[in-house]
Amino acid sequence: MPKKEKLPSTQALRFLRSNEVKFKPYFYKYIDHGGTLESSKQLNVEEHRIVKTLIFEDNSSKPFVVLMNGDYEVSSKKLARVLGVKNVKIAPSEKAEKYSGYKVGGTSPFGLKTKMNIFAQKDIFEFDTILINGGQRGFLVEISTEDLKKVLNLIVVDVAITKK
């Protein structure tokens, strides 16, 4: 039995606790560029059930968040069309960290530093619970999708493409 890890003190956990959201912590060994595939293997969880938090910018550099199933990618074309803008792009790491208050690889939609719109891929809600970053690299929290909807002002979209 692995030793019990101490819960990190993150803005995400403070947010979840202050909103009385029940969560179950999951720790894994963070590997640069391992992404949801790596965490799903280590935790023996379907990659589709792990939700990544991505920071994007529109063509006027306005930031926003996209929550996407781990085994999908975001279609920039579909997303731009939904937003009614010319184009969108993933925010560079240093800007994403500035907007969110989290290190890339540890970005959580909870307790964001900058107020941003949050778009959520519709497929996330196929599950009763999902795993999503808890505000630190190598740390996910399992929460109900109902709680996710309750505590975040989500805009549900269909902007996924399957990974090549």
Rounded to whole angstroms, the Cα distance separating 8 from 25 reads 10
Q: Strand 72-74 relative to strand 24-27: parallel, antiparallel, unpaired?
A: unpaired
Is the predicted pLDDT of residue 92 greater than 50, yes or no?
A: yes
CATH assignment of 22-162?
Answer: 3.90.960.10
Side chain identity at 67, as an amino acid letter?
Answer: L
- Taking 70 as the threshold, does the pLDDT of residue 8 lie above it? yes
pLDDT score at 5:
73
For tokens 């399992």, name the residue.
142
Q: Domains of the chain: which residue ranges?
A: 22-162
Half-sphere exposure of 98 (CA within 13 A, CB side): 8
- pLDDT over 50 (residue 1): no
Give tens-digit pLDDT for 60-87: 999 999 999 999 999 999 999 999 999 9
The pLDDT value recorded for residue 162 is 87
pLDDT tens sequence across 45-59 = 999 999 999 999 999
Residues 117-160 have pLDDT tens digits of 999 999 999 999 999 999 999 999 999 999 999 999 999 999 99
Q: Are strands 129-136 and 50-58 parallel, antiparallel or unpaired?
A: parallel
pLDDT-derived band at 4 (thresholds 50, 70, 90) equals low
